[in-house]
């Protein structure tokens, strides 16, 4: 048997280093440019703090890679319970930052516990869905997996962090699909539901047409009265849930962002300001960009949260279209690489964890980049490994390390398959 470190995917680690390096470069530019003296002192320290978190994350990566893979799996229930405890503690005792009460402070160090909870949730759901009963479509196992995701999702939404709550919810169709336990029609229904919600934001008329056509198509496809009835109920439930979510769960400023997404110019001095400035920054970068620390929109602080949620604008303005595409290519290489490792793993447990992790990264990338170029509403979630934020960097690195560990030591999981 080959030593585990010879099975380790060093290419993925190099891609991780590249993404963190890109992030540090963009954060430095956003906080050390000509207008640095006008920034808050806490913002000026973002680069130094992110550099420290990079060192901590690198140490965590090394430690996780050295752990026995079976130990990681056995620790899943404990990790999940700890994560729920942290979410509950943040809800009760946490500090509110940017409207979300999702931060716990230990002295001067703050942790965004919702980011940490993603790791424990993916690990716990993986451990459950990798069991043979779950992969055979056992309803109790599938319901249990959904509840494992819904509980932290609800706690996160209660903290007023709706964007991260949506990321948790996205795990349900992703992990159910890769477990092989959910029939394709139901996955198609989930995808259609997501498209319908998106169209509700863009144009209710288009959403109604889409839902009608999708319903007719599903009815013709299944040719089963029972399945057809369930799907009709499902479509109705989704429509009600979308309405309830948009107008009863979301805060007023979040509803304003969704409305402004359809016509940002009509809200240019309010909810549409972020999108207009983001598109102006990226568009002004041209093909090659304005140069490092030379972005006018960035340096004059026209872009809100330019080292966190809107960091992609900094890259687009200062490094141009080529720089922006280079970042997306590095992400694409990492996601494709991880998907390949999941397929190569063979066994259900490493494959499912890699699928969950890759799904989280993909959702973050699509939403973050999409909102900066006006294709998605402004939700407010970071770009993995690039946006400033120690908790997100630590959590994403931990997930990557677990995925690489489970793949490198995949032979230990024959008993689960």
pLDDT tens, residue by residue, 188-241: 666 666 666 655 555 555 566 666 666 666 666 655 556 556 665 665 566 566
CA atoms within 13 A on the CB side of 83: 25
Q: What is the pLDDT of residue 293?
A: 84
DSSP helix/strand/coil, 341: helix
pLDDT range class, residue 353, cuts 50, 70, 90: very high
Nearest to 102, CA basis, from 158, 50, 56: 158
Residue 405 near residue 412, CB atoms below 8 Å = no
Strand partners, 163: none
Element (H, E) at 12: helix 10-32
pLDDT range class, residue 33, cuts 50, 70, 90: low
Tokens 């060192």 belong to residue: 55
Strand ordering across the sheet containing 95-97:
95-97, 100-106, 109-112
pLDDT surpasses 90 at 325: yes
For the record, the structure tokens of 384 come out as: 């993995």
pLDDT range class, residue 143, cuts 50, 70, 90: confident
Q: What is the pLDDT of residues 364-393, one digit of tens each?
A: 999 999 988 888 888 888 999 999 999 999
pLDDT range class, residue 142, cuts 50, 70, 90: confident
For the record, the structure tokens of 20 come out as: 């963190």
Domain count, the chain: 1
Q: What is the pLDDT of residue 347?
A: 79
Strand partners, 106: 109
Residue 349 near residue 126, CB atoms below 8 Å = yes
pLDDT surpasses 70 at 413: no
pLDDT range class, residue 363, cuts 50, 70, 90: very high
Q: Name the pTM for this structure.
A: 0.86
> Which range marks the domain in which residue 237 is found?
4-416
pLDDT surpasses 90 at 176: no
Residue 317 near residue 285, CB atoms below 8 Å = yes
| Cα dihedral value 65, 69, 73, 75, nearest 10 | -60
Q: What is the pLDDT of residue 242?
A: 60
Phi and psi at residue 268, to the nearest 5°: -65, -25
Distance separating alpha carbons of residues 22 and 384, to the nearest angstrom: 11
Residue 298 near residue 26, CB atoms below 8 Å = no
Q: Reduce the secondary structure of the chain to three states and give it as a string.
A: CCCHHHHCCHHHHHHHHHHHHHHHHHHHHHHHCCCHHHCCHHHHCHHHHHHHHHHHHHHHHHHHHHCCHHHHHHCHHHHHHHHHHHHHHHHHHCEEECCEEEEEEECCEEEEHHHHHHHHHHHHHHHHHCCHHHHCCCHHHHHHHHHHHHHHHHHHHHCCCHHHHHHHHHHHHHHHHHHCCCCHHHHHHHHHHHHHHHHHHHCHHHHHHHHHHHHHHHHHHHCCHHHHHHHHHHHHHHHHHHHHHHHHHCCHHHHHHHHHHHCHHHHCCCCCHHHHHHHHHHHHCCCCCCCCCCCHHHHCCCCCCCCCCCHHHHHHHHHHHHHHHHHHHHHHHHHHHHHHHHHHHCCHHHHHHHHHHHHHHHHHHHHHHHHHCCCCCCCCCCCCCCCCCHHHHHHHHHHHHHHHHHHHCHHHHHHHC
Nearest to 125, CA basis, from 183, 77, 83, 71: 77
Q: What is the pLDDT of residues 93-137, one digit of tens each?
A: 888 877 778 888 877 788 899 999 999 999 999 999 888 766 666
pLDDT range class, residue 31, cuts 50, 70, 90: confident
């Amino acid at each position: 048997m080959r030593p585990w470190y010879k099975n380790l995917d060093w290419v993925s680690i190099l891609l991780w280093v590249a993404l963190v390096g890109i992030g540090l470069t963009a954060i430095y530019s956003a906080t050390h440019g000509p207008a640095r003296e006008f920034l808050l002192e806490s913002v000026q320290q973002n680069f130094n703090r992110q550099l420290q978190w990079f060192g901590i994350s690198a140490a965590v990566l090394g430690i996780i890679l050295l752990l026995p893979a079976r130990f990681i799996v056995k620790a899943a229930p404990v990790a999940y319970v700890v994560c729920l405890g942290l979410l509950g503690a943040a809800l009760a005792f946490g500090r509110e930052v940017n409207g979300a009460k999702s931060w716990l402070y230990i002295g001067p160090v703050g942790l965004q516990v919702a980011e940490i909870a993603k790791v424990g949730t993916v690990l716990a759901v993986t451990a459950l869905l990798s069991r043979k009963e779950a992969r055979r479509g056992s309803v109790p196992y599938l319901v249990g997996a959904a509840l494992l995701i819904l509980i932290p999702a609800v706690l996160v939404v209660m903290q007023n962090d709706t964007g991260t709550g949506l990321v948790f919810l996205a795990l349900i169709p992703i992990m159910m699909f890769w477990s092989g336990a959910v029939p394709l029609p139901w996955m198609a229904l989930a995808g259609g539901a997501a498209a319908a919600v998106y169209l509700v934001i863009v144009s209710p008329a288009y959403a109604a047409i889409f839902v009608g056509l999708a319903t007719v198509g599903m009815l013709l496809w299944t040719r089963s009265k029972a399945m057809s009835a369930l799907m009709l109920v499902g479509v109705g439930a989704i429509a009600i849930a979308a309405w309830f979510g948009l107008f009863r769960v979301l805060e007023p400023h979040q509803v304003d962002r969704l409305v402004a997404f359809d016509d940002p110019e009509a809200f240019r001095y309010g909810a549409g300001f972020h999108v207009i400035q983001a598109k102006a920054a990226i568009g002004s970068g041209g093909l090659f960009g304005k140069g490092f620390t030379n972005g006018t929109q960035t340096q004059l602080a026209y872009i809100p949260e330019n080292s966190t949620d809107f960091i992609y604008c900094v890259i687009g303005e200062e490094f141009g279209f080529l720089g922006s595409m280079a970042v997306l290519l590095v992400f694409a290489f990492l996601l494709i690489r991880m998907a390949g490792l999941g397929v190569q793993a063979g066994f259900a447990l490493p494959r499912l964890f890699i699928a969950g992790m890759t799904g989280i990264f993909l959702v973050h990338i699509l939403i973050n980049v999409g909102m900066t170029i006006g294709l998605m509403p402004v939700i407010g979630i970071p770009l993995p490994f690039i946006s400033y934020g120690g908790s997100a960097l630590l959590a994403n690195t931990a997930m990557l390390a677990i995925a690489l560990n489970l793949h490198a030591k995949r032979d230990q999981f024959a008993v689960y398959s």
